[in-house]
Structure 1
């Protein structure tokens, strides 16, 4: 019988893809979830009810586990301390539980944002979470993975960007000269599975392997090729989305529920360099953005998240990307 892998964040976008990949490889999974009835995970996944603040639940999660994959994290919060409560203190608590249980491998999924902790509370909290693992690197036999922007079928986080690249005029909240790495969620799931046995200890920045990352002109060209018509980029001056973010934060405070748009996120969007540094874990056959874009847009349209193509645009995704 295969050994147990404990996983947090399995109900999230990347977590679901990772769980699917691990099950396909024959692993047994035990997932930490807040509400098993709403988790909607495959029946083969054992669940433990609780969260990162529940020491007893964490102990049950890692009991007898061979490895831990830590994907859970706070992407949004109303207060700075709320980011740190999950991304730093939650990570610290899980690491303590894993070390006590003598887990043999700890795979920590961070974010490329952690490279620039001065930009936002989210970035700072992700760096703090990395530091918590680095302090126990040898004891946990730990590897830290920093993904760049992750996209793919089922993701609502990158939906606005993907949607803009399908329109005649793409409104872009970012710098014209910016460069960045990308990774398809399926590739991230494969890299996480690899990290269970490969990569040694330490920090790895991962991507789809494109040297130097991407620039906006390349993404716009991909959108144009897919749509069969020009996509014209319109770059917003930073004060425009920054003002929108300020009002969005006020509204979030009024509702008592954080949103994805905030001033920290705008600072991240206008940072010029999000290119993953080479030398980390890498796949021999990563999904290039043109193919991943076509697959993702097609999924969005089939799911009703984006409008279906007009009758004048009847080519399939595969025929578009072959041009």
Structure 2
């Protein structure tokens, strides 16, 4: 394992935060981009700036062994917002990585990129993948499904619903999930040069046949120790809820019309043929165990 630092974006987010912890345990130095000043952390050099600050990106990539690009825009008011955050930002980072002769670019995309016509978010992630593929740099693209684990605020709402005994779900369908620590282990493995250049990986918990929405809701109920009922919401109801959320919470809305279209798609399971080869990576955390540990963490922190 190289002792040159890894350049990381999105280090102040949920997945990035887990990467900082696991890299520290492995003794892997990091150089991380941040928009705001951060407290000192052992093994981490902070570079203040963003994906449109070319001087900061040059400093981020200087001397780096590889780039792990986690940062991205999940919610935006329009196409331009997604384009700026997910496409232009990725292109800027690719330019900096090439200029600094970084050996590998690990790009964290999304399963949403598989269905670009469904949402502005998915379309922007698909375009970011194209930018990586055509940049002329050694690269691997990882498409995570829903990511959960201690510290995640996105799936927290599902745990709260399960604790109340009723989980409201999109229309019936299938989904894949992965624990953040498993995703991070894969990213670090790829950043160390394992896996051939040009790989497109869809990673999950290797649950056979993926999870049905109802099956996942029941697993949440077991994790919080409650008997849980499920309610599948028709598409028009989900879309109407998104309209109301945007109306009342504006840019802070969780369920935007764009996300509603994404949620209502019936199949967000990974393609088994795109799972990583077992010799490269195998998930270590079974989802029932991971959900239980996450629920325990939420309770210890007073979130649940």
For the criterion TM > 0.5, the same-fold answer is yes
Residue 65 of structure 2 is matched in structure 1 by 66
Describe the SS at the equivalent of 1:166: helix
Write the mapping of 1:95-110 to structure 2, written as runs, cut at 5 A. Answer: 95-110=94-109
Residue 286 of structure 2 is matched in structure 1 by 288
Deviation per CA, 1:111-131: give whole Å up to 9, x if none: 111111111111111111111
Pair 1:298-2:299 in alignment: no
Residue 8 of structure 1 is matched in structure 2 by 9
The two structures, once aligned, show a CA RMSD in angstroms of 1.7
Pair 1:151-2:145 in alignment: no
Deviation per CA, 1:218-273: give whole Å up to 9, x if none: 223323434555311111222222112113223454xxx34322011111111011
Deviation per CA, 1:40-59: give whole Å up to 9, x if none: 56232101110000111111
State which of 242, 245, 249 in structure 2 corresponds to 1:248.
Answer: 245
Offset at residue 192 of structure 1 (A): 0.6
Residue 25 of structure 1 is matched in structure 2 by 26
CA contact (8 A) 1:11 1:40 kept: no
Question: Which ranges of structure 2 fall in alignment gaps of 5 or more residues?
Answer: none
Separation in 2, partners of 1:223, 1:86: 32
CA contact (8 A) 2:24 2:42 kept: no
TM-score, normalised to structure 1's length? 0.87
Separation in 1, partners of 2:85, 2:229: 40
Offset at residue 211 of structure 1 (A): 2.4
Deviation per CA, 1:138-179: give whole Å up to 9, x if none: x3210000000000111011111222233322222x112x01
Describe the SS at the equivalent of 1:90: helix
Offset at residue 217 of structure 1 (A): 3.1
CA contact (8 A) 1:63 1:101 kept: yes
Question: Which ranges of structure 1 fall in alignment gaps of 5 or more residues?
Answer: 307-323
Separation in 1, partners of 2:6, 2:27: 11
Offset at residue 300 of structure 1 (A): 1.1
Separation in 2, partners of 1:76, 1:271: 18
Separation in 2, partners of 1:43, 1:28: 9
